[in-house]
């Protein structure tokens, strides 16, 4: 897979000096040691004294553990449990079942190595172009967003929400099913912001209707904000925000008031904003410190050299060709 990199700043709020280097993608090349660079200082925890009691690890729900490992999303894992595709210690798994380090879990007959230690998820920020689908396979042979992503040694990338075939813009991926659920679940009400180009211009009555609520086939939908961005000729631009992600929701809302969307681009998802340097078809990895804030995890505590800290500030974007 061909790839070019260039420095870019991640538009992630709140901005602050970073003290930890972003984790390199799996296909990023040789390690720092093999390149002759000095590695950051590693701090190891002191070994427990002989005879000290072992740390107790509380059992956790099966779907949570497997989701954290990137096996699938919680919803997918629950469906697999119902379908009998998951076993625990040789017996069919049950919904809500808890497991611990001593349990043997198999998915489709394959043993899953369990990990209960806290780890920082990985998050990719991708600028999706039009003409790609957010699916792993397509019967029509259309290109998918997953063909451009770096390969994972373990687990898989999970798309945070979807963008339809003709929609471009910000798309997040993570290898952690729990984080994916946190970012997508309606109860967290993470705001999505879109730039919309219409064939025509909205009237004041239409704007009020879209902000108050439009009745769609799958329920009431409304924009939290709707601002006029101007335009020329028959094309007019608007910026809209909403706190949910139903299928083709933005397009359907404008169609409901009699206007057609000629271009749609997502520019923000929650606190993550699409960087102007991240061009279409490019991705970059979110720095670990920002991932911890996004996931509600403690910030990593580790010592780093001044050189490593400087490298952390130079977030790199990657351009790839589909595999």
- What's the rounded Cα separation, in Å, for the pair 282 and 263? 20
pLDDT of 34 above 70? no
pLDDT of residue 271: 95
Instruction: Give the model's pLDDT for residue 198.
Output: 97
Region 194-216: mean pLDDT is: 96
∠83-122-150 over CA atoms, to 5°? Answer: 85
pLDDT reported for residue 119: 74
Choose among 113, 128, 139: nearest CA to 161. 128
Task: Give the domain 60-112 fold.
Answer: 3.10.290
Using pLDDT thresholds of 50, 70 and 90, give the confidence band for residue 60: confident
Catalytic residue among 26, 27, 138, 164: 164
Helices 177-184 and 288-295 pack at an angle, to 10 degrees, of: 60
Summary mean pLDDT of the chain:
81
Residue of 173, 172, 143, 169 whose CA lies nearest to 158: 173
Q: Which has more pLDDT, 64 or 253?
A: 253
CA 134, 135, 138, 144 torsion: positive or negative?
Answer: positive
Q: What is the pLDDT of residue 304?
A: 53
Residue 223 has a pLDDT of 97
8 Å CB contact between 125 and 279: no
Q: What span, in angstroms and rounded, lies between the C-alpha atoms of 35 and 313?
A: 20
pLDDT at 30: 37
pLDDT at residue 46 tops 60:
no
User: What pLDDT band is residue 142 in, cutting at 50, 70 and 90?
Assistant: very high
Asked whether the beta carbons of 279 and 319 are under 8 A apart, the reply is yes
Contact (Cβ atoms closer than 8 angstroms) between residue 162 and residue 134: yes
Structure tokens at 294: 């996004």
Q: In the predicted model, is pLDDT for residue 13 greater than 50?
A: no
Mean pLDDT of 164-172: 96
Residue whose structure tokens are 């043997």: 104
Residue 144 in contact with residue 138, Cβ under 8 Å?
Answer: yes
pLDDT at 272: 96
139, burial (CB in 10 Å: exposed 0-12, middle 13-18, buried 19+): exposed
Q: Is the pTM of this model over 0.85?
A: no
Provide DSSP, 158-216: EEES---TT-EEEEEEES-HHHHHHHH-GGG---EEEEEEEES---HHHHHHHHH-EEE
Give pLDDT, residue 15. Answer: 38
Q: Is 140 annotated as catalytic?
A: no
Q: Is the pLDDT of residue 175 over 50?
A: yes
Residue entry with tokens 């952690």: 176
pLDDT for position 94: 94
Q: Is the pLDDT at 14 greater than 50, yes or no?
A: no
Mean pLDDT of 64-76: 88
Average pLDDT over residues 272-297: 93
Sheet holding 91-92, edge to edge: 91-92, 86-88, 105-107, 110-112
The H or E element spanning position 105 is strand 105-107
Least reliable range by pLDDT among 11-25, 153-167, 254-268, 281-295: 11-25
Token pair 């990657």 in the structure block, residue: 318
Band (pLDDT 50/70/90 cuts) for residue 301 is low
CB 4 within 8 A of CB 310: no
Whether 97 shows a pLDDT value over 90: the answer reads yes
**For the segment 119-139, what is each residue's pLDDT rounded down to a tens digit?**
789 999 999 999 999 998 888
Q: Single out the residue of 165, 234, 227, 164 nearest to residue 196, CA to CA.
A: 227
């Amino acid at each position: 897979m061909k790839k070019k990199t260039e420095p870019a700043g991640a538009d992630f709020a709140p901005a602050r000096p970073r003290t930890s280097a972003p984790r390199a993608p799996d296909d990023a090349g040789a390690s720092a040691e093999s390149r002759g660079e000095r590695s950051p200082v590693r701090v190891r925890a002191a070994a427990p004294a002989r005879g000290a009691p072992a740390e107790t690890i509380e059992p956790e729900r099966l779907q949570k553990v497997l989701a954290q490992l990137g096996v699938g999303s919680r919803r997918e894992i629950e469906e697999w449990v119902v379908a009998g595709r998951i076993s625990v210690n040789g017996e069919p798994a049950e919904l809500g079942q808890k497991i611990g380090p001593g349990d043997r879990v198999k998915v489709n007959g394959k043993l899953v190595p369990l990990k209960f230690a806290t780890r920082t998820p990985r998050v990719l920020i991708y600028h999706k172009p039009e003409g790609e689908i957010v699916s792993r396979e397509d019967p029509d042979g259309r290109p998918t967003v997953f063909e451009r992503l770096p390969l994972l040694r373990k687990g898989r990338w999970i798309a945070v929400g979807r963008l339809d075939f003709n929609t471009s813009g910000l798309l997040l991926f993570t290898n952690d099913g729990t984080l994916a659920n946190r970012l997508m679940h309606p109860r967290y009400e993470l705001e999505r912001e879109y730039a919309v180009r219409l064939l025509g211009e909205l009237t004041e009555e239409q704007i009020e209707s879209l902000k108050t609520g439009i009745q769609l086939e799958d329920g009431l939908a409304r924009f939290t904000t709707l601002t006029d961005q101007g335009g020329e000729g028959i094309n007019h631009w608007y910026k809209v925000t909403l706190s949910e992600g139903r299928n083709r929701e933005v397009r359907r809302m404008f169609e409901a008031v009699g206007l057609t969307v000629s271009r749609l681009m997502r520019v923000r998802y929650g606190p993550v904003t699409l960087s102007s340097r991240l061009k279409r078809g490019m991705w970059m990895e979110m720095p670990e410190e920002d991932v911890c804030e996004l996931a509600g995890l403690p910030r990593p505590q580790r010592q780093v050299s001044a050189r490593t800290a400087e490298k952390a500030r130079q977030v790199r974007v990657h351009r790839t060709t589909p595999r």
